[in-house]
Structure 1
Amino acid sequence: MPKIFIVEDDRTITNAMIKEFNKWQYLSQTVQDWNSVVAEIRTFQPDIVIMDITLPTFDGFYWTSQLRQVSDVPVIFVSAADMDPNAVRAIATGADDYVVKPFSLNVLISKIQAVLRRTKREAIPMESLTYEDYRLNILTNELKYQDHTVKLTPTEGTILKIFFLNAGKLVTKQQLMQNIWQGGSFIEDSVLNVNMSRLREKLDQVNLRGRLVTERGRGYRLVTADES
């Protein structure tokens, strides 16, 4: 199980990260003493570090430079600051990647997986998600149910992945567009509607269409067989 150390003082963001990491079977740890960040990282021995820039004591650049003196653990910076010049400084300090707030957790997960693969720290990459008797391969975008296999497009696969990860919960259109298109500011609802329609047609092949219900004016929900 990959281990992630989170250096972030915003509890809302930290809690969201921890919840998402748990879904992907990643073990995470947060800072307890802001004067001993590097010591805590070394004790936890993570496979990757998520590093904010603005922190209670020293900033993320300082802690990364200190960390680089004793460890080569990958570091991904997250910050509300503009990409330039902080991105350049982050990489120069020893970071492996950079994400600007507000960011999609799916984008962060993708960057984490890419860094872990590149550094060969992720021994068993997660390839599939399951919901009841359904299995979605997130690498090939294939949905399997009993002896049936349905091939999805990358966008359809991403949409279904979001529903699998949030089974039983309401997922709004805004949440979908933010996760699929990294903000979705320039994406019209019609684009999502077309993809949802195509996905539903394919889900009909494995008796899952009726389980993806629309809550008018609110969003969508993947429900159990008893609820459908």
Structure 2
Amino acid sequence: MKVLIVEDDQAIRELLAESLKKWNFEVAALKSFENVLEDFLHEQPAIILLDINLPLFDGFYWCNKIREVSQVPIIFISSRESHMDMIMAMNMGGDDFIQKPFDTEVLIAKIRALLRRSYSYTETQTNVLEHQGVILNLNDLKVYYEEKKIELTKTEFVILHLLMKNAGSIVSRNKIMRTLWKHEQFIDNNTLSVNITRLRKKLSQLGIENFITTKKGEGYFIK
């Protein structure tokens, strides 16, 4: 199982990584904290160790962002001692809180216990698709990009979901329409063109340009 370490103190980060590897955990330790959500989506960890005091945005912020797309277990690790910080960590979606300095054996025990009582690794997978920083939430029909979001219609969502699942490949107009019919979205060629145009406009509102490419006579694709 993979553990994602989000800790800006190099000494603590290396200590955590070394201890986890001894217990046969796979480790991903972030050294840059500009887009923790995107890194999380890329790494797909089974559990996260999250510091509160981070550059740019704090751990509370990133916990809230991750909770928008996943229920992956999160343990806060912090030197903060106030009860309010602990309460806030739990209210923001954290599953546990451990203070620095900490005993690594106690932390490992907490990780193992949390994994046991949470859910299996296969269930921790996120209900999102991510490509080039564009995040499609499969639960709420919303697209997220650089801290902005926009809601899609059911038809727009099905189209974008299909194209992102097949990123790098051309998806024919017929395949898109057949997929929409399966979702009881009955549209013709003209209506499909209108929905593609609307989808592109919504993506443009988020600052996403030229995400969907038209291949004349064949269909659409995302590079």
- Structure 2, gaps ≥5 residues long: 123-223
Deviation at 1:32, TM superposition (A): 4.0
Could you say what secondary structure the match of 2:85 adopts?
Answer: helix
Partners in 1 of 2:121 and 2:19 — Cα distance? 17
Partner of 1:38: 37
Q: Taking structure 2 as the reference length, what is the TM-score of the superposition?
A: 0.53
The superposition leaves residues 69-107 of structure 1 with CA deviations (integer Å, 9 ceiling, x where unpaired) of 011110000000014111100000000000000000001
Partner of 1:199: none
Matched, 1:115 2:97: no
Please tell me whether the aligned partners of residues 38 and 66 of structure 1 are also in contact (alpha carbons under 8 angstroms).
Answer: yes
Partner of 1:221: none
- Structure 1, gaps ≥5 residues long: 124-228
Partners in 2 of 1:68 and 1:40 — Cα distance? 14
Whose Rg is larger? 2
Partners in 2 of 1:116 and 1:66 — Cα distance? 21
Partners in 2 of 1:16 and 1:30 — Cα distance? 11
Deviation at 1:37, TM superposition (A): 0.5
Please tell me whether the aligned partners of residues 17 and 29 of structure 2 are also in contact (alpha carbons under 8 angstroms).
Answer: no
Most deviating of 56-65 and 27-36: 27-36
Identity score, percent? 39
How many equivalent residue pairs? 122
Partners in 1 of 2:31 and 2:100 — Cα distance? 23
The superposition leaves residues 192-216 of structure 1 with CA deviations (integer Å, 9 ceiling, x where unpaired) of xxxxxxxxxxxxxxxxxxxxxxxxx
Partner of 2:22: 23
Q: How is 1:3-82 mapped onto 2 (pairs within 5 angstroms)?
A: 3-82=2-81
Please tell me whether the aligned partners of residues 83 and 100 of structure 1 are also in contact (alpha carbons under 8 angstroms).
Answer: no
Q: Which residue identity lines up with residue 34 of structure 1 in the other structure? A: F
Matched, 1:102 2:105: no
Q: Taking structure 1 as the reference length, what is the TM-score of the superposition?
A: 0.52
Deviation at 1:122, TM superposition (A): 6.0
Root-mean-square deviation (CA), in Å? 1.3
